[in-house]
Structure 1
Amino acid sequence: MRSPSIAAAASTAVLMTLASASRGQTTGGFSLDRFEPAPAGDAFFGVPSPAAPGHLAPRVHAMLDYAHRPIHSSGDSPIDLVSSQALLRLGASLALWDRLLLSLDAPLAVAQGGDDPGIPGVAFTELTAPELGDLRFGARLRVLGRDAGPLQLGIGGYLFAPTGTPAQYTGDEEPRGAFHASLGGRLGTARSSLGFLWSASGGVELGGGPNRPQQLTFGAAAGALLGGDLLQLGAEAYGAAPLGGDLLLSSTPVQREEAGLNAELLLGAKLRVLGGLTFGAAVGPGLTNAIGTPSVRAVGMIGWAPLPQPDSAERAPAVAAGDKDDDGIDDALDACPDVKGDPSPDPAMDGCPPADRDGDTVRDIDDACPTTPGARSADVTRSGCPDDRDGDGFHDGIDACLDVPGSSSDDPRKVGCPADADDDGIVDASDACPKVKGTASRDPKQNGCPDDPDGDGVRGAADACPNERGRPDPDPAQNGCPRFVRVHADEITTSKPVQFIVYGKTRAQTVAPISDDLLREVRDAIQQNPDIELVEVQGHTDDSGSEEYNLRLSQERAEAVLSWLVAAGVPREKLVARGYGFERPLGDNRVKTGRQKNRRVQFMIIKRKGAAVQR
C-alpha cells in the first residue's frame, strides 16, 4: 500500500503515460485494470471456479467493467490521475469431456480519462478510447471431485498477449502468464429451492515487462442459490500481492513507485432464465489505496451458459419408458409387460395375472370378476361374474342389496344399495343433507337435515356440512363446509397434504406457510369438538432411504406440525406426535402415485371424552 508521502509525490509525476520519451526507450505504462473476470459461464464474477461441466458446451458473455478513480493521489491538492476506466469485455469458453475448459477474454477500453498534473517539462498523454486491451487465453482442468459436487479441485492458467497499449493503461509491454489452483463446490442439488456455492483460488502472475512486478493472486467467493438456479446472491473478494519490485510511472523524469497490495470486494447477483440466459450486476469498494485499485468498481453482464444438470445422485433410477399393458407397473419391472397383472413381492410374478384365483374356470386375464366365481359370458364386462338379480350393475357376489337397485359405495356393506351416506334412514336421493343425520320432513329442502347444529350460519338443507363449522360458498357442495378438513369418528382427514420447507431453521419453521390455512382448520376442528381429548399427529414417509432416516424424518415432521398447532392455540395436552417412517404405507412404493400417498401427515383421534376410540 502506498504511504501518504509517496501518494502525494505521485500526484505530481505519476502514471505510465505522463511522460513522453524518445523512441526505443521504456516510457512507463502497464495494464492498469486489476479485475480479471472469471471465464464465461463461471458462477462468480471475478473468482474462478474449478468446474468444467459438459462436453462441447459453449458459454459466452458480454461484460462492462467500470473502475472509478483507479489511480488517485491524496494530499493538499488531490489529483485523479486516472479518474475512470470502463472496459467492455467479450468472453467465451468451451467445456470438453466434463474436465477441461478453454476460454478467451477480449477487453476493449470504451471510456477512460484522467487529470493533467501540470508538471513543467512533462508532456501529459491524454487517455483516449476505444483502446484494445491484452487478449487473454485460458485453460482449466478439473482434477478432483464430481461436477456440481460439494468439493472440487481445479488447476488452470492464463496467457496474456500484449495487444493493448501501455501508454493508455490497457496493456503490458510483454506477454505475461498466470497460473492458479482453485477449490470450490455446490451444496444442494439443481432441483433444490435453496443451494450454496463457494470458490477459492490462489496463484502467481509472471512476466509483462519491466513495468509490471510479479505477484501472487488470491480470491474467495460465496453465494446462495434461490429457486434452483434462478437467482444467485453472493460476495467475492480478490486481489494481488506484489513479489517486490516497483512500477515505472514516468521515464521523463524517471518516477517509480513501490507496487502495493491490491484488494477489492464485490457484492453481486445473477438471474438465470430461459434455460441459461444470464443477467448479472455487482458493485463494491476497493479495500486498499494501491495503484490499480479503484475507490468503487461496478460490473454488469449478460451471457449464456447451460444450467447445471442434476447429477447422478439426483436422477431417478433409469427405467424403460412405457407401460404397454397399462397395469400401473413400469415395463422394466413388469415380468409380464404384455399382459395386465397385479403387483407381487415375487419379481418373477410382478405384473403377471394369477391363473384363476376364484376357480370358476375363467382365467383371471379374461375374468371381469377374478376373485368371485361366476359363469363365462360373451359379454367381456360380465364374463366370470355372478348374476345381477336387480340389474343395478353390481353382480350378486358383491351386491349387499340383491333385490333393490342401488349405487356404488366404499363400504362393502352398502355396495348395490340405495345410497344413504348418513345412515338416517332417508336415502340420499331424497335426503337434502345426505352427509348429516337428520329427520324426515315434508319440506324437500329440510328432509333429512338438522337445523344448524354446527352454528356456522348456514342452515338446514343449504349446509352441505351441517355438523362441521364452515363458511358460505357459492358451490352448493361446499356451502357451510371447511375448505380442507373433515372430522370422522377416529380421524380428522384433510383434502390436501401438509407441505414442508426442506431447509427450515427450526422444527416449527419447517411447515410451509402454504399449509397455514389447512392447519388452522385442523385447529378449529379440535377446538369445536370438545369431546376430542387426544389427537395423535402421525408422520409417514415412503420407503426412500433407510428405516432409521425415515423414522427420524417422520417424527420431526409430526413434531413440527404439533408445534404449529400448539402455537395456534391447541392445548398441548390434547396432542401427541409420533413418526411411523414407512411402516404404514397407503400405496405401492414402487410407483410414483403410491409414494406420493405414503408421504403424509395424519390426525388420528385417539381418545374422545369418556372412552378411547374404537378402530
Structure 2
Amino acid sequence: MTMHSPLSRKFAPALLSFGLAFAATQPAEAQTKSGQLALNLFEPTPTGDAFLAVPSPRIGGHLVPRGAALFDYASRPLTITDRQVPIVAGQGFVRADLSLSLWDRVLVSVHMPLALVQSGEAPNVPGLDAPAPRAPVLGDLRVGARVRVLGKDDRAPFQLGLGVNAFAPTAPDDTFVGEGDWRADVHALAGGRVKLRLPLVWSATVGAMLRMSDSPHALRFGAGAAVLLVDERLSVGAEIHGTRALGETRLIDARFTDITAAPSLGLELLGEARLRVFRGMTFAAAAGPGLLSGLGTPAFRGIFLVGWAAPAGSRSPVTTASPPPKDRDGDGLRDDADACPDEKGILSGDPSRDGCPPPDRDRDGVLDLEDACPLVAGEQNTSERKNGCPADRDEDGVPDREDVCPEIKGLAETKKRGCPADRDDDGVFDTLDACPDQKGVAVSDPVQRGCPKDMDGDGLEFPEDLCPADRGAADAPEKGCPLFVQLKGDEVALSRRIEFAPSLRVKGLAVTPESIPVLEEIKGLLRDHPEIQRLEVQGHTDDAGDVKKKLATSQEEADTVVRTLVELGVSADKLVAKGYGHKKPIADNRVAAGRRANRRIAFTVIARAR
C-alpha cells in the first residue's frame, strides 16, 4: 500500500500481514491518532508581495497597512495510491492576511487560515480507526516579521532580507490542518526589479521549517519571475516552490504500526496573474500542478486573492527634522540617490544609472542630453536647436553632405535632393520658371526665364519677339506682337475699334468686316492663354440721349460681339456679355471726341485658373 505523498515501504507489509494476523487477538483499548499534521504546504506570502507562494524582501514604506482575503484549493494532497484511497481528497482554505510596514525596512504580518472545505476517506484497514478529514476548522495562526538588509528601496534591482514566521497551535487535532505544537519558518529572501524591454520582478527564498512536535524539520525553497504590463497595473509570471522533510513523518498512529511518509521532495509550479484596478485594490489568480509527489503536494492547486496593497515604490515618509538633501550637480536628483552626484544627469529608471549623463547614441561627441539630433551624427553648434545635428546651411532639412543645392532651400524628395522643384527638368527651378511645365532656357528676363525660345509659336524667338507669350506678326509695329490685341494684366488693349453696322441677315447689328481681324486675334489670345477661364465682353456708350436706350444698345453690341466670337470658334462658356451704358466713361462726354471714345467695346478677364 503506497500513498500519493510517498510513505515508507515498510508500511505495506506491516499493515497488511502483521496487522491482519493480530487484529483479532489485541485488546480494543489501542488508541488511534491521525491527522496531527499541517498537510497544506502552501504558505501565502504577506499581502503586497509580487508572488503568492515565494516571499520577497519588499517592505513598502512606513506605516503602510495592507490586507487581503485569499482562497486556495488543493486536489488530492494525500492518497494511498495502490488502493486509490484519497485520505485527503481536497482541501480548500479561506485566509485572512494583514501586514504593516515600518521605516521602509521592517514588515510585520499576521495570517489566519480556515479550512472551509476538506474531503476524503478513512483507510478501511483492520486495527486502524482513522477518521475522515472534516471542515470547517481553524488552521494554525501565523505571525511573521522580516527585515530588508540590502537594497535601497522596493525598486532596487537586487534586495536581500531575512524573515521568520511563528505558528501557534490553534488548529484542533485529527484535522490535517495543524500540528498540535509550535513551529517556526526561518528563511532568507532575495528579489528585485529589473528594467529590461519590459519591467521584470523576481524573488527567491530558502529556509527551514523547525518543529517542536514529533514531525521532522524540513527545508523550504522557491523562486519566481513576472513581467509588468499596462503601466505596471498587470503582472504575469510563474513561480516554483518546494519542501523536503529531513526525516520520516508519522501520519497516523495505528494499533500495530505507524503509517509514515519517507523523506522526499515535493515540488509545485504555479502560473499566476495579478491586476491592480485602481491605486491599491488588487486581484490575483494562480493555478498549477504538483511536479514531484512529496508529502502534501497536491495533484493540482488553484488560488484566488482580493486585497489592498500600495503600489511598489509608494511610501509614507517618516517625518524627521532633517536638512534638505544635497544635490551637488543640480540635476534635480539628491546626492544619496544619484549614481553620478558630480555630473549632471537624468532619471533613467535604473538606480545604478540614475543621475548619470545619458549616452551619446550617435557618437558625435555631443551627449544626448544636449543633442538636438541624438540619433544622427552631427557637429557642435552654439544654437540649442542645431547642436549635435548635421550642417544644413539652407535649413531645408537635408544635411549639407546630402544636399545637391546646399545653399538653396529645397525639398528632400526632389530628383536633385535638397534642391527646389523643377518639374520640366530644364535647370530652372519652378519658383523662378515662367513656364514650369515646358522645358525652356535660362535667361535673365523673368517673363521668358525657363520658357521655350518661341513660346507662342509665331516663328519669332526671344528676345526678337517683343510679345513672347502672345502670337503675333513679324510686320507688327511691335515685332512679334498681335496687330490689334494685347493682354495687359486683366485688361485687353485694342489698337483698332470694333465697329457695327445694321444687318438684314440677323435683323439687327453685325460686326463690320474691318473688325473681324480684331476678333480673330481675341480668339488667338484665348487659345494662347488657356488659364483664362472667363472673358467679359463689355459694351459702353456716351450719355447723350435716353440712358435706358443707351444701356440696351450697349448690351446689344456686347451680345453681337459674343455671338460673332462663338461663330469664329470660341467656346461660349468662356464668354459673358455685359452692357454698361454710359456708367463707365473713359473720356469727357461734353466734347465730340470724348463721346466717340466712350462708345466702345472692351474686354476684361474675370476668371483665371489657379
TM-score, with length taken from structure 2: 0.51
Superposed CA offset, 1:377-414 (max 9, x none) = xxxxxxxxxxxxxxxxxxxxxxxxxxxxxxxxxxxxxx
Give yes or no for the alignment of 1:30 onto 2:37: yes
Take 1:10 and 1:265, find their aligned partners in 2: how far apart are those partners? Answer: 35
CA contact (8 A) 1:229 1:307 kept: no
- Counting matched residue pairs gives 349
Q: 1:107 to 1:611 in 2, by over 3 A?
A: same
Partner residue of 1:206 out of 207, 210, 214: 210
Contact 1:7 1:73 in 2 (8 A): no
- The answer as to whether partners of 1:156 and 1:180 remain within 8 angstroms in 2 is yes
In the alignment, the residues of structure 2 paired with residue 236 and residue 4 of structure 1 have an alpha-carbon distance, to the nearest angstrom, of 30
**Aligned equivalents of 2:68 and 2:308: distance in 1?**
6
Q: How does 1:410-425 map to 2 (within 5 A)?
A: none
What is the aligned-residue RMSD (CA, Å)?
4.0
Which amino acid is the alignment partner of residue 299 of structure 1? Answer: I
1:585 to 369, 375, 384: 384
Match of 2:119 in 1: 113
Determine if the alignment matches structure 1 residue 292 to structure 2 residue 296: yes
Match of 2:310? 306
1:275 paired with 2:275, answer no
In the alignment, residue 100 of structure 1 is paired with which amino acid?
V
Gap regions ≥5 residues in structure 1: 14-20, 312-317, 320-331, 333-501, 504-543, 563-575, 589-601
Which SS does the other structure have where 1:177 is aligned? strand
Q: Assess if the C-alpha contact under 8 Å between 1:8 and 1:74 holds in 2.
A: no
- SS state at 2:90 partner: strand
* 2-structure distance, mates of 1:88, 1:98: 29
Q: From 253, 256, 263, give the equivalent of 1:259.
A: 263
Which residue of 133, 137, 142 maps to 2:139? 133
CA contact (8 A) 2:360 2:366 kept: no
Q: Return the alpha-carbon distance in structure 2 between the equivalents of residues 247 and 143 of structure 1.
A: 38
Q: Which residue of 1 aligns with 2:49?
A: 42
Matched-pair identity in %: 36
Letter of the structure 2 residue corresponding to residue 258 of structure 1: A
Structure 2: which amino acid aligns with 1:130?
Answer: P
Would you say 1:241 and 2:244 are equivalent positions?
yes
Counterpart secondary structure, 1:67? strand
Q: Partners of 1:582 and 1:259 in 2: how far apart?
A: 74
In 2: Cα distance, 1:85 partner to 1:94 partner:
29
2:227 to 221, 224, 229: 224
Residue 391 of structure 2: aligned partner: none
Give the direction of change, closer, same or farther, for the CA distance of 1:102–1:284 in structure 2 (3 Å limit): same
CA distance 1:177–1:555, change in 2 (3 Å): same
Does residue 103 (structure 1) correspond to residue 138 (structure 2)? The answer is no
Does the aligned pair in 1 maintain the 2:265–2:294 contact within 8 Å?
Answer: yes
Q: Cα 1:199–1:548, aligned 2, differ >3 Å: closer, same or farther?
A: closer
Instruction: Indicate the residue corresponding to 1:181 in structure 2.
Output: 188
CA distance in 1 between counterparts of 2:30 and 2:364 reads 77
Deviations 1:56-97 (A, max 9, x none): 10010111010001012322x322221100001100100000
Shift of 1:308: 2.1
Give 1:68's aligned residue: 75
Q: For residues 111-150 of structure 1, what are the alpha-carbon distances to aligned partners after superposition, in whole Å with 9 as ceiling and x for unaligned?
A: 1101233223433413221110000000001111111201
CA distance in structure 2 between the aligned counterparts of 1:581 and 1:266, rounded to whole angstroms: 55
Aligned positions of 1:317-356 closer than 5 A:
none
Shift in Å at residue 250 of structure 1? 3.0
Q: Is the 8 A contact 1:108 1:132 kept in 2?
A: yes
Do the aligned residues in 2 keep the contact of 1:556 with 1:579 (CA within 8 Å)? no
CA distance in 1, matches of 2:300, 2:14: 20
Contact in 2 for aligned 1:8/1:73 (Cα 8 Å): no
The answer to whether the Cα contact below 8 Å between 1:32 and 1:292 also exists between their aligned partners in 2 is yes
CA gap of 1:547–1:196, structure 2 versus 1, over 3 A, is closer
> In structure 2, the residue corresponding to 1:586 is in which secondary structure?
coil
Letter in 2 for 1:546: P
Check whether the contact 1:109–1:133 (CA below 8 A) recurs between aligned residues: yes
Gaps of 5+ in 2: 18-27, 316-323, 326-331, 333-347, 350-354, 388-395, 410-610
Residue in 1 that maps onto 2:90: 84
The residue type equivalent to 2:183 in the other structure is R
9 and 108 in structure 1: CA distance in 2 versus 1, 3 angstrom threshold: farther
Q: Which moved more, 1:133-142 or 1:21-30?
A: 21-30
Q: Which residue of 1 aligns with 2:454?
A: none
- 8 Å contact kept, 2:203–2:224: yes
Q: Which residue identity lines up with residue 85 of structure 2 in the other structure?
A: I
Pick from 376, 379, 398: which aligns with 1:604?
398
Tell me which amino acid in the other structure corresponds to 2:152.
R
Does the CA contact (< 8 Å) of 2:33 and 2:174 recur in 1? Answer: no
Aligned residue in 2 for 1:122: 128
What is the Cα deviation at residue 273 of structure 1? 2.0
Structure 2 CA distance for partners of 1:546 and 1:263, relative to 1, 3 Å:
same
CA deviation vs aligned residue, 1:572-598 (integer Å, no higher than 9, x gap)? xxxx9536699753399xxxxxxxxxx
Q: 1:538-557, CA deviations, whole angstroms, 9 ceiling, x for partnerless residues?
A: xxxxxx85375364599999
- Asked if the contact 2:32/2:253 (under 8 Å) is kept, the reply is no
In the TM superposition, what are the counterparts of 1:353-368 in structure 2 within 5 Å? none
Deviation at 1:609? 8.2
Matched to 1:215, the amino acid is: A
CA shift, 1:251, in A, is 2.9
Query: Does the CA-based 8 Å contact 1:106-1:136 persist in structure 2?
Result: yes
Counterparts of 2:14 and 2:175 in 1: how far apart (Å)? Answer: 18
1:195-594, aligned counterparts within 5 Å? 195-210=199-214, 212-254=215-257, 255-309=259-313, 546=357, 548-549=359-360, 551-552=362-363, 577-578=376-377, 585-586=384-385
Q: Quote the Cα distance in structure 1 between the aligned partners of 2:16 and 2:120.
A: 13
- Once residues 215 and 553 of structure 1 are traced to their aligned partners in structure 2, the CA distance between those partners, rounded to angstroms, is 60
Mapped to 1, the partners of 2:380 and 2:45 lie a distance apart of 46
2:216–2:248 contact (8 Å) kept in structure 1: yes
Q: Say whether the 8 Å CA contact 1:286–1:296 is kept in structure 2.
A: yes
